[in-house]
Amino acid sequence: MSAKVIDGKALSRTIREKLAGLVEKLKQQHQITPGLAVVLVGDDPASEIYVRNKARQTVEVGMQSFEHKLLPTVSQKELLDLIARLNADPAVHGILVQLPLPGHISDKQVIESIAPAKDVDGFHPENVGRVASGEGGIVPCTPMGSMMLIRDALGDIAGMNAVVVGRSNIVGKPMAQLLLAQNCTVTVAHSRTRDIPALARTADILVAAVGRPEMIKGDWVKPGACVIDVGINRVLNVGGEGYRVVGDVDYREVAEVAACVTPVPGGVGPMTIACLLANTYLATLAIHGISSDATF
Ligand code: NDP
């Protein structure tokens, strides 16, 4: 079997085009321009590229982008003061603080200081609780994008067995909740799970969010399954020259067994940014009390 490649680049482009139209309409009908503030602490080159990408795509869909680059030595108080200003700024509808933060700053306190209505990453406990209990809330971008890819590939997934490998707060756990909300039977595996290959073989939908390069092998996958690879891992090239990016799935092997699989890069990654923009648009509507039937 040769799997269908799930094209996250193409779907993310479709979402961004749809968003550009919705943002234009919002500007014309309500004179409101959604604004996304991204805060980057330190000078990690990978984070800088990611933040630059986000800013470019924000502007491309017609939103305002506010970038705040802070020195790695910034104090927690200075960062919290900036977030308080962004919370109060009517031009800002979404706030994203690039994680991880330097060791002297508490990720938890920073996340909790973001106004839940502007928490477009969906990490604030209020949003986590709402999503978990099915009461709305802002859905974290990576699981949201992964779910869009699954729905686009499979349609109705009610009754399917889903296995999520990884239980982080930002990917694994919310992913499991979204699959449960779509009436899948969900199992979450982690570093203490016994016999993950056997468990993975029960999955109609297998989501890998582990951070271990090419861990999921072809013989871990049920023939005909849908495999979503969230992983982004930089590995040294054979021969030791330069790096390449691989997922948590051994793509070559898994593509022989699965019915469909996301590539890395070009799968979940582009969907994460598209969902961040969708969340910023939805946050703008909610903040201004504008109802809409826009879905993503
Ligand atoms: P974390 O490190 O926070 O969590 C990893 C999870 O995998 C943990 O629950 C851990 O289990 C589990 N795990 C680790 N090793 C094993 C193992 N050998 N067997 C079984 N389970 C294991 O990672 P994230 O959730 O933040 O990210 C996961 C991957 O997704 C990374 O590659 C990351 O780069 C990528 N990512 C991609 C994004 C995108 O936009 N595409 C966005 C965010 C992340 P335990 O809890 O027991 O320790």
Q: Is 166 annotated as a binding residue?
A: yes
Distance in Å, CA 261 to ligand 1 centroid: 18
Q: Is the CB of 167 under 6 A from ligand 1?
A: yes
Distance of CA 245 to the CA centre of its chain: 17
Q: Domain residue spans in the chain? A: 30-115, 141-268
How far is residue 262 from each of residues 109, 163, 246, 251, 252, measured CA to CA in Å?
Answer: 34, 16, 12, 8, 11
Q: Give the SS3 label for residue 263.
A: coil
Q: Is the CB of 192 under 6 A from ligand 1?
A: yes
Residue nearest to atom 4 of ligand 1 (CA): 168
Bridge partners, residue 65, by sequence: 36
Distance in Å, CA 65 to ligand 1 centroid: 29
**Whether the Cβ atoms of residue 209 and residue 163 lie closer than 8 Å to each other:** no
Best residue among 146, 169, 171 to mutate for probing ligand 1, ranked by most atoms within 8 Å of CB: 171
Residue nearest to atom 41 of ligand 1 (CA): 269
Structure letter (DSSP) for residue 209: -
Distance in Å, CA 240 to ligand 1 centroid: 25
* Domain topology for 30-115: Rossmann fold (3.40.50)
Q: For the residues of 114-161, what is the DSSP string, one character each?
A: S-GGG-TT--SHHHHHHHHTTS--PPPHHHHHHHHHHHHHHS--TT-E
For the segment 105-140, what is each residue's pLDDT rounded down to a tens digit?
Answer: 999 999 999 999 999 999 999 999 999 999 999 999
Please, which pLDDT band fits residue 86 given cuts at 50, 70 and 90?
A: very high
Instruction: Say if residue 57's pLDDT is above 80.
Output: yes
Q: Is the CB of 266 under 6 A from ligand 1?
A: no
What amino acid positions are annotated as catalytic residues? 54, 98, 121
Mean pLDDT of the chain: 96
**Spatial distance between the Cα atoms of 259 and 39, rounded to a whole number of angstroms:** 39
Mean pLDDT, range 5-17, rounded to an integer: 98
Distance of CA 138 to the CA centre of its chain: 12
Instruction: Say if residue 161's pLDDT is above 80.
Output: yes
Q: Is the CB of 212 under 6 A from ligand 1?
A: yes
**pTM confidence score:** 0.97
Structure letter (DSSP) for residue 6: P
For the segment 202-232, what is each residue's pLDDT rounded down to a tens digit?
Answer: 999 999 999 999 999 999 999 999 999 999 9
Residue 26: phi, psi to the nearest 5?
A: -60, -40
| Fold agreement (30-115, 141-268) | yes
Q: Is 167 annotated as a binding residue?
A: yes
CATH superfamily of 141-268: NAD(P)-binding Rossmann-like Domain (3.40.50.720)
Q: What is the pLDDT of residue 43?
A: 87
Please, which pLDDT band fits residue 1 given cuts at 50, 70 and 90?
A: low
How much of the chain, in percent, has pLDDT values that exceed 70?
100
Ligand 1 atom having least distance to the Cα of 272: 40
